[in-house]
């Protein structure tokens, strides 16, 4: 038979988007190029106790994220995504790299590869649509991106979502995991408890993960919700120090528990989660670390965040009128309180409370500026109580 | 004259795909985005001699390959490809990065850049279309991707192909080669000895390469046809140890010889190659290392691999019916025997025989799962005879 | 509200190029994929003094640049570019990564991100359109790509351009800058002094930059306008040694001054610049280093370089007839003289004069070969006067 799908070595290369030869399913594969970048600057004000606890933090400018992705369908019922981040250490880093078979009976969607495993509303909200610059400090407990296989779907006419995954744990920056052990399980259930047209909406969710790391240890740590990194692939220092840090805890397994409560009333969007990391420490007592956050936002210009029924997360603000058309785009104010306690028994990783005020300016659907003022209250076992003030600004574009 | 092709610094950027201004050849350049990923897991069973010979091999999950490419034409007779792999160490690694002038008199196609140099049917078969997870152990003898200039074409009404290249040797992960020496020549000839419609086909090929490395040494080595790597750019350790390895052999030059015999009878596809690496060792006798493989596949669901006349290689299985349309896609069984002997005179690199059974499930033209069982029989000078059993599964999508 | 812009985790992903749902601005975002590569070889002839001064230089083949970019508009008045280079050390390196708001009152275009800051006609000429393989030795004085915010526009009916930027200085390969100091300012003004249809054109420009590096030091250095690099991210050695090099000069600030004079008469394109780097040295006298170049080109086949009014730079040669259509494309001859003196007071970085002859073969608008012969005359404080001859050839394709 003639060659209809040759390797690229010979002569002209067929177009991935327009190839349509006899005997092929017409129109596949499809491919869209997607990307984003976030460029930001942060300035730090530290009291003496803060400098003693975490050192002097340099004012910083960097690309927080810069991503390119190809995504599409290779058949009517199979989609894919290949996404890399060029801004993280270990560049480029594997982000969402997966294939999904849709419309499988009972299982709904079946996915293989690396993606954000089902755990936490904050984790599954796209970084393009975060209310603040960073996710809350509870992020350190999430499995997040791991390489495995999972299933997910909606239920009850898109009033609920469910997802369950099995994966290798933990994976490196390139989605790899090496060792005779190292597995994890994760699941998330969400539902709409109340929905009254555009007036009101109440979302609840439940998350559970069981993790057995190939490294036989856990380490939880967090910056005060600001995130520059300038280290190399081998784990060099980050620019922003970790304010709380358990150090390595020897353990064969841990369980993560999380609950979500969120909603919209009028134009106000509310979201909160409570997490527990329960570590079966070796050579010491079992440990439990809690984290919690609550956040709210309101668009001064009348827009409202969409609710994504397929994911059970909130989406972005889309301005009623774009900047440059005689209007100023959309303006949103936001506030968050978060708390994490990494002190338990022999582990004294510190306790951190963050208060964040945010102002988001959406010039159009795809371009925004974000301003965050963060007041971080750290209770550090070694250095006592301290205060750190952070002023940060980000420009983000995505397509 | 007005600017019709400005640098991107000023204002809006013209589209590479839609730019068509007076005086330009309409419709060029064209660009298609292409990519693929392979995510796989492998489990290893080793007898005591195997562990003694190569150490304990961890069960592994990783992205074996993850590639993005842009390809197209910049004029009716000039094509290009820029392809990077994000899964290899040295990330991202240069893959096919070349430009080709087509329809040149006598020379046919003239190519400059980096690409898979003409040597071996296995080498020139796309990784997207391999019968097994990896090419055979003979791979260690191929020049493979090098940076240079070459010509290639078909002949006798596409009954034959020829290709000849001159290149720098060896190049690093980024296509570079530095040193006052370091050159190579490579050529491949193939022909169809027999072709009876869809019933039968016999392909034969001949390959020759002359290599003068800038490093003044050769090293041949191979894993048992399973390939995880987690090393860094500077050549850190791979996860899967090399089962056979000559170590460095001081030499100014070597010649590689290879013959191909392949064909199709009914629905069965057969392919075999025999290689010789002949090294002009310095300070020791001349060396000759042989490698050979033979493989066959058969699609249980009635499909047949295409034969690519422009390349002289086999293509992929395209299911008669896709998975998810009431059918299960295509299923193919395959088997391979391979043998390499890196023992000669003072060099005792070991001898490896691999037996592989494969089961390939093609959900559609672009998405497949592959299952390999490999039994590796290693005769190691230091540790004697050993057996290793490998079970591996891969999901691959390409577009 | 329904989800019209979900995260990619759920089911099919909307196309960045074709998404058009009720309530959205139709047709945005747009995305074009662009790229280029330059593969080149260089051979070096050194007299004894050259070898003594800079060591033996290996003949080299490498991809000088290999870039992929996504660019487009996310709204009628907002464009973006995300571009990475895979050929530089620190791979992939951030190139132009920015968003621009167009048609802002008074300011014209306002840009945020990383791009080539306004300083020097040579700097702002795209690498795709350079007359020679490399920019002149004056390049070491340019701010070039930095991360910041700036404004630019044309004036007087595109008879003039202006640009001004504020940025962090210096940024690393990924656009980041860390430290409580480290800022810069840069500005460029250009104008057409004379324009007589296609017959004659005179361009003049003025550049000024004020730089306060976070590193509290400056270092200027240059190869003889040939540029291979094979170092790693941490600043490993380049293949081509720096012929002139000031070493680190402790300083809180420096000012850069530059003037441009360029034009076209008949088919000849002329371009020259004079630069001064004035360093406020700490613990020593103030320093001033000059650099100058003048270059000219002429297309034997009758074409002329375009003049880009939006940028104030020259564009590329577009052949009247492409290679392969019975014609040979376009042929251009070029010559350049450049001089840089890095000797002043206690700093003895050397003095370098370069004479370059160029021959450029444009097969079509997007594919060319360039041949450079460079004679470098180095006056090195340690090793006296020396001569180096360089022969280099490059193939370049862009789209």
**Complex prediction ipTM:** 0.92
Which chains pack against A, by 3+ Cβ pairs within 8 A? B, C
* Token pair recorded at residue A180: 């005779």
For residue C52, the SS3 value is helix
Q: Residue with structure tokens 């000669």? A: B344
Residues of chain C contacting residue A232, judged by C-beta atoms under 8 Å apart: 233-234
Omega within 30 of 0 (cis) for the link into C30: no
* Token pair recorded at residue C274: 């004079």
pLDDT value for A266 = 87
* Token pair recorded at residue B220: 């041949």
- Is residue A297 very low, low, confident or very high in pLDDT (cuts 50, 70, 90)? very high
The residue among A13, A27, A181 with the most chain B CBs within 10 A of its CB, best to mutate, is A13
Q: Residue with structure tokens 């004659």? A: C200
Omega within 30 of 0 (cis) for the link into B92: yes
- Is residue B199 very low, low, confident or very high in pLDDT (cuts 50, 70, 90)? confident
Q: Do A74 and B398 touch (CB under 8 A)?
A: yes
pLDDT value for C383 = 82
If contacts are CB pairs under 8 Å, which of residues 151-170 in chain B contact chain A? 152
| CA atoms within 13 A of residue B120's CA, in its CB half-sphere | 29
Q: What is the mean pLDDT of residues A353-377?
A: 98
The residue among A2, A10, A77, A177 with the most chain B CBs within 10 A of its CB, best to mutate, is A10
| Paired strand residues for A373 | A357, A391
* Token pair recorded at residue B50: 């195997």
| Domain boundaries of chain B, sorted by first residue | 32-398
Q: Do C365 and B233 touch (CB under 8 A)?
A: no
Q: Do A5 and B316 touch (CB under 8 A)?
A: yes
The residue among C7, C33, C34, C104 with the most chain A CBs within 10 A of its CB, best to mutate, is C7
Size of interface A-B (CB pairs under 8 A): 204
Q: Is the pLDDT at A207 greater than 60, yes or no? A: yes
- Contact between B213 and B172 under an 8 Å Cβ cutoff? The reply is no
| Rounded-to-integer distance, Cα C127 and Cα C227, Å | 13
- Is residue B227 very low, low, confident or very high in pLDDT (cuts 50, 70, 90)? confident
* Token pair recorded at residue C199: 């017959």
pLDDT value for B337 = 98
pLDDT value for A234 = 42
- Contact between B328 and B302 under an 8 Å Cβ cutoff? The reply is no
* Token pair recorded at residue B146: 């090098």
For residue B386, the SS3 value is strand
Higher per-residue pLDDT: A14 or C134: C134
CATH class of B32-398: mainly beta
Displacement of CA B64 from its chain's centroid (Å): 13
Label the pairing between strands B384-398 and A145-155: unpaired
Which CA distances in Å does C144 have to A84, A106, A351, C85, C236? 26, 57, 44, 15, 21
Q: Do B74 and C315 touch (CB under 8 A)?
A: no
Residues in chain A: 399
Query: What percent of chain B has a predicted confidence (pLDDT) above 90?
Result: 84
- Contact between C220 and C246 under an 8 Å Cβ cutoff? The reply is yes
- Is residue A325 very low, low, confident or very high in pLDDT (cuts 50, 70, 90)? confident
The DSSP symbol for C87 reads: S
* Closest residue of chain A to C232, computed from CA coordinates: A232
Alpha helices in C98-206 (DSSP H): 121-124
Q: Is the pLDDT at C355 greater than 90, yes or no? A: yes
Taking the C-alpha atoms of B124, B128, B133 and B135 in order, what is their torsion angle to the nearest 10 degrees?
0
| Paired strand residues for B188 | B163, B207
Residues of chain C contacting residue B92, judged by C-beta atoms under 8 Å apart: 86, 91-92
Which residues neighbour C106 within 8 Å (Cβ) at sequence distance 6 or greater?
none
- Contact between C102 and C112 under an 8 Å Cβ cutoff? The reply is no
- Is residue C11 very low, low, confident or very high in pLDDT (cuts 50, 70, 90)? very low
Alpha helices in chain C (DSSP H): 48-54, 121-124
Q: Do A81 and C176 touch (CB under 8 A)?
A: no
| Rounded-to-integer distance, Cα B176 and Cα C195, Å | 45
If contacts are CB pairs under 8 Å, which of residues 105-124 in chain A contact chain B? 112-114
Q: Do A113 and B39 touch (CB under 8 A)?
A: yes
pLDDT value for B90 = 65
Q: Is the pLDDT at B161 greater than 50, yes or no? A: yes
Which chains pack against B, by 3+ Cβ pairs within 8 A? A, C
Q: Do B102 and A7 touch (CB under 8 A)?
A: no
Conformation bin of residue B158: beta by default, left when phi > 0, alpha when psi is -120 to 50: left
Q: Do A62 and C177 touch (CB under 8 A)?
A: yes
Q: Is the pLDDT at B230 greater than 90, yes or no? A: no
* Closest residue of chain A to B64, computed from CA coordinates: A176
Residues of chain B contacting residue A399, judged by C-beta atoms under 8 Å apart: none
Which chains pack against C, by 3+ Cβ pairs within 8 A? A, B
Q: What angle do CA A177, A180, A184 make, to 5 degrees?
A: 60
Q: Do A7 and B313 touch (CB under 8 A)?
A: yes
- Contact between C222 and C139 under an 8 Å Cβ cutoff? The reply is yes
- Is residue B1 very low, low, confident or very high in pLDDT (cuts 50, 70, 90)? very low
| Rounded-to-integer distance, Cα A195 and Cα A193, Å | 7
pLDDT tens, residue by residue, A29-78: 999 999 999 999 999 999 999 999 999 999 999 999 999 999 999 999 99
Mean pLDDT in chain B? 90
Q: Residue with structure tokens 């759920």? A: C10
| Rounded-to-integer distance, Cα C44 and Cα C59, Å | 6
Q: Residue with structure tokens 């790693």? A: C232
| Rounded-to-integer distance, Cα C24 and Cα C15, Å | 14
Cα dihedral across residues A172, A174, A175, A176: positive or negative: negative
For residue B382, the SS3 value is coil
- Is residue C95 very low, low, confident or very high in pLDDT (cuts 50, 70, 90)? very high
For residue A336, the SS3 value is strand
φ, ψ dihedrals at B150, nearest 5°: -155, 170
Residues of chain A contacting residue C76, judged by C-beta atoms under 8 Å apart: 322, 324
The residue among A147, A167, A176 with the most chain B CBs within 10 A of its CB, best to mutate, is A176
Residues of chain C contacting residue B14, judged by C-beta atoms under 8 Å apart: 32
* Closest residue of chain B to A7, computed from CA coordinates: B126
Q: Which helix (H) or strand (E) holds A95?
A: strand A93-104
| CA atoms within 13 A of residue B198's CA, in its CB half-sphere | 8
- Contact between A276 and A257 under an 8 Å Cβ cutoff? The reply is yes
Closest by alpha carbon to C191, among C181, C201, C180? C201
Taking the C-alpha atoms of C141, C297, C355 and C223 in order, what is their torsion angle to the nearest 10 degrees?
40
- Is residue A229 very low, low, confident or very high in pLDDT (cuts 50, 70, 90)? low
DSSP string over B132-164: SSS--GGGGG---EEEEEEEEEEETTTTEEEEE
Which residues neighbour B285 within 8 Å (Cβ) at sequence distance 6 or greater?
B345, B346
pLDDT tens, residue by residue, A370-383: 999 999 999 988 78
Q: Is C242 within 8 Å of chain A by CB?
A: no
Residues of chain B contacting residue C195, judged by C-beta atoms under 8 Å apart: none
Q: Do B61 and A168 touch (CB under 8 A)?
A: yes
The residue among C21, C75, C95, C180 with the most chain A CBs within 10 A of its CB, best to mutate, is C75
- Contact between C324 and B77 under an 8 Å Cβ cutoff? The reply is yes
pLDDT tens, residue by residue, C44-70: 999 999 999 999 999 999 999 999 999
- Contact between A93 and A127 under an 8 Å Cβ cutoff? The reply is no
* Token pair recorded at residue B343: 């023992």
- Contact between B167 and B180 under an 8 Å Cβ cutoff? The reply is no
Mean pLDDT in chain C? 90
- Contact between A258 and A273 under an 8 Å Cβ cutoff? The reply is yes
Q: Residue with structure tokens 């750190």? A: A388
- Is residue C90 very low, low, confident or very high in pLDDT (cuts 50, 70, 90)? low
Q: How far is A294 from chain C (nearest CA, A)?
A: 22
Among B17, B147, B180, select the one facing C39 at the smallest CB separation: B147
* Closest residue of chain B to C88, computed from CA coordinates: B174
Q: Which helix (H) or strand (E) holds B298?
A: strand B287-299
pLDDT value for A6 = 28
Q: Is the pLDDT at A10 greater than 90, yes or no? A: no
User: Strand ranges (DSSP E) for C86-175?
Assistant: 93-104, 108-116, 145-155, 160-168
Q: How far is A217 from chain C (nearest CA, A)?
A: 29
- Is residue A160 very low, low, confident or very high in pLDDT (cuts 50, 70, 90)? very high
Q: Is the pLDDT at C100 greater than 50, yes or no? A: yes
Higher per-residue pLDDT: B90 or B114: B114
- Contact between B390 and B371 under an 8 Å Cβ cutoff? The reply is no
Q: How far is A30 from chain B (nearest CA, A)?
A: 8
If contacts are CB pairs under 8 Å, which of residues 10-39 in chain B contact chain C? 10-18, 23-25, 28-31, 33
Q: Do C12 and A102 touch (CB under 8 A)?
A: yes
């Amino acid at each position: 038979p003639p060659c209809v799908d040759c390797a690229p070595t010979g002569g002209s290369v067929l177009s991935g988007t327009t190839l349509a030869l006899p005997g092929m399913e017409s129109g596949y594969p499809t491919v869209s190029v997607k990307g984003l970048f976030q460029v930001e600057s942060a300035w730090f004000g530290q009291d003496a106790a803060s400098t003693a606890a975490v050192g002097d933090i340099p004012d910083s400018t960097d690309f927080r994220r810069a991503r390119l992705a190809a995504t599409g369908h290779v058949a009517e019922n199979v989609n894919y995504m290949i996404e890399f981040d060029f801004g993280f250490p270990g560049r480029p880093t594997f982000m969402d790299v997966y294939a999904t078979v849709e419309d499988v009976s009972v299982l709904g969607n079946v996915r293989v590869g690396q993606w954000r495993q089902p755990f936490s509303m904050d984790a599954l909200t796209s970084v393009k649509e975060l209310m603040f610059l960073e996710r809350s400090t509870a992020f350190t407990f999430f499995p997040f991106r791991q390489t495995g296989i999972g299933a997910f779907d909606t239920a009850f006419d898109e009033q609920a979502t469910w997802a369950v995954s099995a994966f290798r744990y933990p994976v490196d920056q390139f989605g790899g995991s090496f060792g005779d052990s190292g597995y994890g399980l994760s699941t998330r259930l969400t539902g709409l408890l109340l929905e009254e047209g555009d007036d009101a909406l109440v979302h609840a969710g439940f998350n559970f993960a069981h993790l057995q790391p190939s490294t036989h240890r856990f380490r939880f740590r967090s910056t005060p919700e600001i995130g520059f990194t300038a280290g190399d692939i081998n784990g060099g220092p980050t620019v922003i120090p970790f304010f709380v840090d358990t150090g390595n805890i020897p353990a064969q397994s841990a369980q993560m528990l999380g609950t979500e409560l969120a909603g919209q009333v009028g134009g106000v969007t509310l979201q909160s989660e409570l997490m527990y990391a329960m570590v079966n420490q070796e050579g010491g007592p079992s440990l439990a670390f809690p984290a919690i956050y609550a956040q709210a936002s309101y668009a001064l210009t009348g827009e409202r965040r969409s609710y994504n029924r397929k994911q059970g997360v909130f989406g972005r603000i889309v301005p009623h009128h774009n900047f440059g058309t005689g209007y100023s785009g959309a303006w949103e104010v936001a506030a968050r309180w978060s708390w994490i306690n990494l002190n338990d028994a022999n582990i004294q990783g510190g306790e951190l409370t963050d208060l964040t005020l945010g102002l988001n300016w959406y010039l159009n659907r795809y371009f925004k500026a974000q301003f965050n003022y963060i007041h971080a209250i750290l209770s550090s076992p070694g250095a006592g109580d301290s205060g750190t003030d952070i002023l940060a600004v980000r420009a983000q574009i995505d397509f």
